[in-house]
Structure 1
Amino acid sequence: MKFGGTSVADADSVTQVVDIVERHYLRDDEVAVVVSAQRGVTDQLIAIAEEIVKSQDTSTIGSFIHSLRVRHEKVLNQVAGDYASEACKEMENRLANLENILDAVHHLRELTPRSRDYIITFGERLNALVVCAAFRQRGIPSTVLDGCEAGIVTTPQHGEAMALPASDGRIKSRLLPLLTEMVPVVMGFMGCTENGIITTLGRSGSDYSAAILGAGIDADEIWIWTDVDGIMTSDPRVIDNARVLSTISYLEVMELSYFGAKVMHPRSIEPAMRKNILVRVKNTFNPDHPGTCIVHHEKRDTRVVKALTYIDKVALVSICGAQMIGRPGVAKMIFSALADAEVNVMMISQGSSEANITLIIDETQLNIAKVALTALVKQGMVREVTTNRDVCAVAVVGCGMAGARGTGGRIFTALGEAGINVMMISQGSSEVNISFVVDQADGQKAMRTLHDEFRLSEEDDE
């Protein structure tokens, strides 16, 4: 069971978590718990780390450490009075370590990827102590493990590390023996390299942690506890009548999460898929709701489209030129230049004339991409590079689209009748996702139009 930042944000939330876990512990279920940092703490850690590199004033470090101490000790005293003193001693050790590394970063005037990763794990390092103490207060034996101690071995890419196959054996040997005796509380979001260097798994990486650990112990199920009832047909902030999906396939969730759906980490499905483990997404604050089950092969229903999502902070890049036509290796040069600049390409579209390739990238990477591609213009490989920031990408997702005739026609007819211009279209060979790009101002309108067109607010046909 993984509990996100909103699920462990304060004393009431932690009490609710203990209630949930206790129910299963008393039924003799073997439960491992993964916890995130308290809501907002990771953002604060990132901000202080980046600030002190440039700041002349070290007093901000002390005041920040004090605020963390007060925040976590307040919750600790409320949920685990009998164990607060013991947990506070360990918390002081961890706060001292954090203060030392922040002080070192300040004096060196350098924040390396390695030190940044170490700093931003302290939200989980502090909060795991609180949750563990709360379990013990309720009479549930518990112990705290960081991701490395639990056996998560990763690649060395700081900030976006990925689990290695060696994790399975280590997790099984370290975590599995504990389950018959207690509820281990594992700090999410982190692992370590084979040399023991701390790495992080990307933002919202606690989902990924839970999936890695679940696969490592061959769990019956992996439960992702969050603050919504499950995975929805669309963002409820955009679609008032968005509906919770009872079931969805691994592949559909991967498409949705990649295109901006916030419920799951994009990579968190792969370990579960590899071991064919059922994943449940449930609401910590409404635990009786059945939530959403993520399964390998979902029973096909009568509708072809399952859900919609969109990303609004993207940019469109068009590379064109007659010199590209029939010239082998042009695409390779374009994508190699972007890869060398560490620019991630999210969508690709190419005209049959070969004179134009259009890409969608993260808006924050646009300037880097322009520099990389301008070099190709100077070399005469392409004629022109144009960009547009005022766009958003919409994804229409559903396994039922594979082989279904007329789905594309319905999508683009509905958009045309709504007066929405489509600037770019992309579809993968799996036929599970049709993505397109529209003006930023039309993004939410496109979502509402298609949600109505495919009647996604109506319950599944059983």
Structure 2
Amino acid sequence: MKFGGSSLANAERVDYVASLIKSQIEQGYRPTVVCSAMGKTTNNLLNAGHFALEGSVYIDSLRTLHLSTAQELGMGDEVLAALEELLDELKNLLNGVSCLRELTPRTLDYLVSFGERLSVRIVAARLNQLGVPAQHFESWSLGLRTNSDFGKAEILPESYSAIKEAMKKLDDSMVAVVTGFIGHDSEGRITTLGRGGSDLTASTIGAAVPVDEIQVWKDVNGIMTANPKVVSNAVPVPFVSFEEASELAYFGAEILHPISMVPAMRYNIQVRVKNSYNPDHPGTVILADKDYTQLVTAITSKRNVELLDIVSTWMLGQYGFLSRVFSIFEEQKVSVDCVATSEVSISLTLDTKKQDDHAEDRLVKALSEIAAVTVHRDRAIISLIANVARSSEVLSIVFNALKEAGIQVEMLSQGASKVNISLIVKDEDAERCTQILHDRFFGESSAVGGV
């Protein structure tokens, strides 16, 4: 069972989550729990690091949140002392950053690790108060090892066997409450798995044990047919495949970390996304395969992307054009989202959040030596997670709907993925496009059926 920051935002939520874990145990489950930092703690730690770089050390709000949570829940001196010890360690670290005016990637990982390390102590203590034997663990004490790529470390293969052996040694009646998001490299230095890495921690531990099901508890009723902030009538999707969930995560659905399902996929363990605010809802089950009974499973969008048109008529019929283009992308370390090609042209999209302006300028300059390059800014990718075996039906509905709405599709990508059809439209049309397509595929009057 993995709980995110919003599920652990304050004393009331911590108590609720602990009671929820207890109820699962009473139903016969034997959970291992993975926790994110409380509420917005990770952001607050990052802000504290930036203030320290400017010579100011602020941890009062962090101290207040964690100590007041423990006090409100009536925790004893031992727990408060453990929290104080960590908070003092945090303050000493920030004092060092303030003196040196330096915050390296290694130190930044150490800094943000305090959120998870504080939260697991509070959750484990609350479980013990409720009569559930529990013990907090830093993930590395159970064998989670990573490489040394600070900020986006990758979990090493040997972690699986180490975690399995460590978990075997724990008392079956005890709930292990484990830090998400963080690990140790081979030299014992703290690393982080990047944003959303707590999901990956849970998936890794679940695959290593192995467990019957990995539950990721969020603040929504599972994976939705669209972003409910954009489409008010979006509904939960009962089942998705691992491939569908991966595509949704990559193309904008903020439910799961894009790579968090890889361990579960590899070991074929189903993942269930549930709502900690509505625990009776069944949520969404992610599994290896599913039967397709509808044309479209969900619609998602990725905003503020750029569309590049690369045309080289002089290379007509010559081999090596595509190879040369993508070698330039590799040289400039720029990643691509969607691609459409012909013999003499390539259209592709770039996520502007993944690279700086200078990298893009260098890329365009290098590409311009072999082709004519046109950059279209302020575009959006609308991705339909769909039954691609019936793509003609899907596209017929899509183009008819968008033609009626006066929305121009500038690029279409349906490549290696067997579950994703992506359209490129102007960013200003993204929300309207998503709503129109959702109404066509999931609306009450839809002739194609919903989920």
The TM tier, using the shorter chain, reads: over 0.9
**Alignment pair present for 1:316 and 2:307:** yes
TM-score, normalised to structure 2's length? 0.93
Match of 1:344 among 318, 335, 338: 335
Aligned to 1:241: 233
Structure 1 distance, partners of 2:304, 2:52, is 28
- Residues 43-192 of structure 1: matches in 2 within 5 Å? 43-53=43-53, 55=54, 57-58=55-56, 61=57, 64-79=58-73, 81=74, 83-178=75-170, 180-192=172-184
Structure 1 residue 395 corresponds to structure 2 residue 383: yes
Partner residue, 2:434:
447
In the alignment, is the contact (CA less than 8 A) between 1:305 and 1:401 conserved in 2?
Answer: no
Which runs of 4 or more aligned residues in structure 1 lie more than 4 Å from their structure 2 counterparts after TM superposition? 456-462
The change in CA–CA distance for 1:366 and 1:318 in structure 2 (over 3 A counts) is farther
SS of corresponding position for 2:421: strand
Do the aligned partners of 1:414 and 1:450 also contact (CA within 8 Å) in 2?
Answer: yes
Corresponding residue of 1:205: 197
- Counterpart of 1:30, as a letter, is R
Confirm or deny that 1:368 pairs with 2:358.
Answer: yes
Offset of residue 353 of structure 1: 3.5
Amino acid across the alignment from 1:127: S
Instruction: Report the residue type matching 2:375 in the other structure.
Output: T
Are the structure 2 counterparts of residues 251 and 194 from structure 1 closer, same or farther at C-alpha, using a change threshold of 3 Å? same
Measure, in 2, the Cα distance between the counterparts of 1:228 and 1:447.
19
User: Is the CA contact (8 Å cut-off) linking 2:378 and 2:426 kept in structure 1?
Assistant: yes
209-218 or 83-92: which moved more?
83-92
Contact conserved, 1:420 with 1:438, CA < 8 A, in 2? yes
User: Structure 2: how far apart are the matches of 1:359 and 1:325?
Assistant: 23
Partner of 1:354: 344
CA distance in 1: counterparts of 2:63 and 2:331, whole angstroms? 42
Shift of 1:372: 2.6
Residues 39 and 323 from structure 1, CA distance in 2 versus in 1: closer, same or farther, beyond 3 angstroms?
farther
Q: Which amino acid is the alignment partner of residue 14 of structure 1?
A: V
Give the Cα–Cα distance (whole angstroms) in 2 for the partners of residues 172 and 117 of structure 1.
26
% identical equivalent positions = 37
What CA deviation, in whole Å up to 9, does each residue of 1:34-87 have, x standing for no partner?
Answer: 01111111111112213322x1x33xx1xx2222111101111122x2x43111
Query: 1:370 & 1:47 partners in 2: Cα distance?
Result: 28
Q: CA deviation at 1:364?
A: 5.3
State the match for 1:264 in structure 2.
256
The alpha-carbon deviation at position 362 of structure 1 amounts to 2.9
Which residue number corresponds to residue 370 of structure 2?
381
| 1:141-190 CA-partner distances (Å, limit 9, x unpaired) | 11111121222222322222222221111111112332503111111111
Distance 1:356 1:300 in 2: 32
Q: Matched residues in 1 for 2:101 and 2:317: separation?
A: 50
Distance change (3 Å), C-alpha of 1:342 and 1:110:
farther
**What are the within-5 Å matches in structure 2 for residues 383-462 of structure 1?**
383=372, 385-398=373-386, 400-455=387-442
1:288-315 CA-partner distances (Å, limit 9, x unpaired): 11111111111221x1111000011322
| Residue aligning to 1:225 | 217
Tell me the distance in 1 between the aligned counterparts of 2:376 and 2:398.
Answer: 23
Segments of structure 1 that go 5 or more residues without pairing to the other structure are: none
**Please, what TM-score do these two structures have when normalized by structure 1?**
0.91
CA RMSD of aligned residues (A): 2.1
Counterparts in 2 of 1:179 and 1:264: CA distance versus 1, 3 Å: farther
The answer to whether the 8 A contact 1:315-1:363 is kept is no
Q: How many residues align?
A: 449
SS in 1 for 2:79: helix
With over 3 angstroms needed to count, the CA separation of the structure-2 counterparts of 1:452 and 1:223, relative to structure 1, is same
